[in-house]
Structure 1
Amino acid sequence: MTVLDIIEKRYSVRGYEDRPVEDEKLQQVLKAAQLAPTGVNSQAFKIYVIDTKKHEQKLREVYDNDWFVEAPIVLAVVSKANDAWTRPWDLENLNEIDATIVMDHMILTATELGLGTCYIGAFHERPLIELLDLSEEYHPVLLTPLGYPDAKPRETTRKSIEELVEYI
């Protein structure tokens, strides 16, 4: 399977089997995060592997959808802006971009392994900070459930290449 095949196969999974994720597969997903490129290789992030059954009530405060807590695991990517690279000419800190790249690597690897995921950025930050016991230097960026899909992809449309790309 090529990378493009994996990208085409990936979809936002909104239903999960009651089945654990094998540690071998979880470790491959986490390895993908470790290998993700970050600004000047700062790796200014942490990944939290959250046991959904153990923390279901608190996770519902973070993102209240039944399918979110069906997966056995929720992965949280948090960034540490003070350790991330900042462009010197405009002082743009890349911590959230780096964290997004990390999540993308994990999600594509999960897809290759037959696991389902769903990018979640619209979550309630305060209960997640409490659950993870984050210090002020860390900022939650993205979440995804991780498990075996029990839902089919929804129909989506994509803009054409011509609408998205400009050649100059």
Structure 2
Amino acid sequence: MDFIELAKRRCTTRGFIDKPIGKDDLGRILSAGRLAPTACNKQPQRIIVVQREENIRKVQKAYQTFGATCVLIVSQDKRNALIRPFDEKCSGDLDIGIICDHMMLAARELNIGSVMVGLFDPKIIRKEFNIPEYIEPTALLILGYPASGFLSPDRHETERKPLMDTVMYETYSEDR
């Protein structure tokens, strides 16, 4: 399918059946993340694949997993971070977002659902998975086969603002 069609079909999934993701499919999803661009090619991502039931329960201490059989703890290595000199903004959060987006699109192409979560307790994840201080847990990417199917790709017609409300040309303007 073409990219716009794939992007329309990707949706947040919050409810999964108890079916593990195959090794080849998981490998394809992880490979998509590996191919994602990062600032200055620093590749800060450090991903922990969580599939064992006892480890899924550890993740659940920090955030719900919606019955998923696979959670990716997507972290960033802060030791070699690219820092914007003008305001000290670290590129790692952007990099992790792009990496997760690549993996979510790859998952959807395989009919695997996903939800990317940033609202979790990183202290719990750090403790439960023995993550050192210089590695920052940034996102949970929860993966699995949807319990209720996928949302309609046509939902964007009513759920997204029109481009004219979010895009400006040449300068910022409140009036359009």
Query: TM-score scaled to structure 1, two decimals?
Result: 0.91
Query: Residue 7 in 1 paired to residue 7 in 2?
Result: yes
Q: What is the identity, as a one-letter code, of the residue corresponding to 2:120? A: F
CA distance, structure 2, for counterparts of residue 44 and residue 58 of structure 1: 24
Q: For structure 1, list consecutive stretches of 5 or more residues without a partner in the other structure.
A: none
CA distance, structure 2, for counterparts of residue 13 and residue 71 of structure 1: 10
Counterparts of 1:88-107 in structure 2, within 5 Å, are 88-107=85-104
Query: TM-score scaled to structure 2, two decimals?
Result: 0.87
Summarize deviations over 1:15-53 as a string: whole Å, max 9, x none: 111111110000001101111100110001101101151
Asked which structure has the greater CA Rg, the reply is: 2
Q: For structure 2, list consecutive stretches of 5 or more residues without a partner in the other structure.
A: 171-176
What is the aligned partner in structure 2 of residue 39 from structure 1?
A: 39
Moved more, 156-165 or 138-147: 156-165
Quote the sequence identity (%). Answer: 31
CA distance, structure 1, for counterparts of residue 52 and residue 97 of structure 2: 22
What is the aligned partner in structure 1 of residue 160 from structure 2?
A: 158
Q: What is the root-mean-square deviation of aligned Cα atoms in Å?
A: 1.7
Conserved 8 A contact 2:56-2:71? no
What is the aligned partner in structure 2 of residue 72 from structure 1?
A: 69
CA distance, structure 1, for counterparts of residue 128 and residue 6 of structure 2: 32
Runs ≥4 residues deviating over 6 A: none
Shift of 1:57: 2.7
**Secondary structure in 1 matching 2:16:** coil
Query: Residue 149 in 1 paired to residue 151 in 2?
Result: no
